[in-house]
């Protein structure tokens, strides 16, 4: 009886596991073992080099670690600026205000647009030579002419500008999930707090935040995973790796695959990348378990 029950339970996961095994595990194993070879992606022969690729990544590949650093920087900005903005907007829309539905739709337009379009349009908005220079004009018009700058062509500001555009594209998701979460908090709790004489700030701190923490962790994990893999946006905004200033891991992997025809090395880079992502997500997950 128990065995039958156990078997019954397997049926629930069978389709998922089957598809997963075929379409993820098999390619994964293939790519994983390729990291141990030197291969150009074309020939039918490969050269086994053991852990050589990994050694090269760890010890010699400065451009790889620079790309990881850049991606982490963008992710950090996303975790802070983007998610705080999303939370504030969700909180503002959670209250009883007019035009709630209008905002809910508008804020989700950026995620819907493809990265290519977003890059093209923002490049047009920011650049002055091949664009309309709107940002600088606005800054000058608002009385801050000394802030005018070549946001995308100056190597010092390019990465931050890219990070901000990415935040613009991404906050819609966080907004949606936060809003859904905020709406699950029963209104009665706020009522009770108000009756007890709590101020708006106190009820926010003692009711809203604690109940939202699991959702914040969820959004944080998804943000990290999504942002570390950004790359299309970078190509459409700054044309490429900008002498390393806007280099990101996925672009480096693509460069190894296509530019240098080193498929095996690209796989090794991919595995290294995966390990870092797993480590970060694991830490976040553990952190969330503690706070439950």
Query: Which of 64, 242, 248, 251 touches other proteins by CB under 8 A?
Result: 242
Query: What is the nearest approach in angstroms of other proteins to the Cβ of residue 150?
Result: 6
Site string for other proteins, 128-147 (x = CB under 8 A): xxx-xx--xx-xx----x--
Query: What is the nearest approach in angstroms of other proteins to the Cβ of residue 290?
Result: 16
**Contact between 179 and other proteins (CB under 8 A)?**
yes
- Of 73 and 139, which has the nearer Cβ to other proteins? 139
**Contact between 269 and other proteins (CB under 8 A)?**
yes
Query: Which of 36, 77, 79, 118 touches other proteins by CB under 8 A?
Result: 118
**Contact between 125 and other proteins (CB under 8 A)?**
yes
Contacts of 53 (CB under 8 A, 6+ apart): 35, 36, 38, 264, 265, 267, 268
C-alpha distances in Å from residue 247, one per residue of 39, 68, 74, 162: 24, 8, 11, 11
The count of residues interacting with other proteins (CB under 8 A) is 118
Query: What is the nearest approach in angstroms of other proteins to the Cβ of residue 205?
Result: 17
Query: What is the nearest approach in angstroms of other proteins to the Cβ of residue 162?
Result: 11
Contacts 24+ apart (CB under 8 A), 140-148: none
Q: Is the dihedral of CA 257, 78, 124, 69 positive or negative?
A: negative
**Contact between 10 and other proteins (CB under 8 A)?**
yes
Query: What is the nearest approach in angstroms of other proteins to the Cβ of residue 109?
Result: 5
C-alpha distances in Å from residue 111, one per residue of 163, 217, 273: 15, 20, 25
Q: Output phi, psi for 50, to 5 deg.
A: 60, -135
For the segment 192-231, give every residue that binds other proteins (CB under 8 A). 214, 218, 222, 225, 229
**Contact between 66 and other proteins (CB under 8 A)?**
no
Query: What is the nearest approach in angstroms of other proteins to the Cβ of residue 288?
Result: 10
Rg (the chain; Cα; Å): 24
For the segment 82-111, give every residue that binds other proteins (CB under 8 A). 85, 88-89, 92-93, 95, 97, 99, 102-111
- Of 55 and 205, which has the nearer Cβ to other proteins? 55
Query: Which of 74, 158, 220, 248 touches other proteins by CB under 8 A?
Result: 158
Query: What is the nearest approach in angstroms of other proteins to the Cβ of residue 155?
Result: 5
**Contact between 166 and other proteins (CB under 8 A)?**
no
**Rounded to whole angstroms, how far apart are CA atoms 157 and 155?**
6
């Amino acid at each position: 009886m128990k065995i039958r029950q156990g078997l019954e339970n397997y049926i629930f996961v069978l389709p998922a596991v089957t598809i997963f095994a075929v379409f993820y595990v098999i390619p994964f194993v293939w790519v994983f073992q390729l990291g141990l070879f030197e291969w150009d992606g074309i020939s039918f022969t490969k050269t086994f080099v053991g852990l050589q690729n990994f050694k090269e990544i760890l010890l010699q590949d400065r451009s790889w670690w620079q790309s990881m650093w850049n991606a982490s920087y963008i992710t950090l900005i996303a975790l802070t600026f983007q998610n705080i903005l999303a939370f504030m907007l969700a909180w503002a829309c959670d209250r009883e205000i007019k035009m709630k539905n209008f905002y809910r739709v508008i804020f989700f337009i950026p995620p819907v647009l493809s990265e290519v379009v977003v890059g093209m349009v923002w490049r047009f908005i920011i650049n002055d030579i091949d664009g309309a220079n709107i940002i600088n004009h606005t800054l000058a018009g608002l009385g801050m002419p000394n802030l005018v700058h070549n946001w995308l062509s100056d190597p010092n500001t390019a990465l931050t500008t890219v990070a901000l555009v990415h935040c613009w594209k991404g906050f819609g998701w966080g907004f949606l999930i936060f809003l859904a979460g905020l709406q699950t908090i029963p209104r009665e709790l706020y009522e009770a707090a108000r009756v007890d004489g709590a101020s708006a700030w106190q009820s926010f701190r003692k009711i809203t935040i604690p109940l939202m923490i699991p959702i914040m962790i969820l959004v944080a994990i998804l943000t990290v995973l999504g942002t570390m893999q950004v790359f299309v946006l970078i190509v459409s905004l700054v044309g490429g790796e900008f002498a390393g200033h806007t280099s990101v891991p996925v672009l480096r992997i693509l460069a190894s695959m296509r530019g240098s025809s080193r498929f095996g090395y690209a796989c090794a880079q991919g595995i290294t990348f995966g390990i870092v992502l797993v480590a970060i997500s694991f830490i976040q997950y553990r952190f969330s378990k503690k706070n439950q």
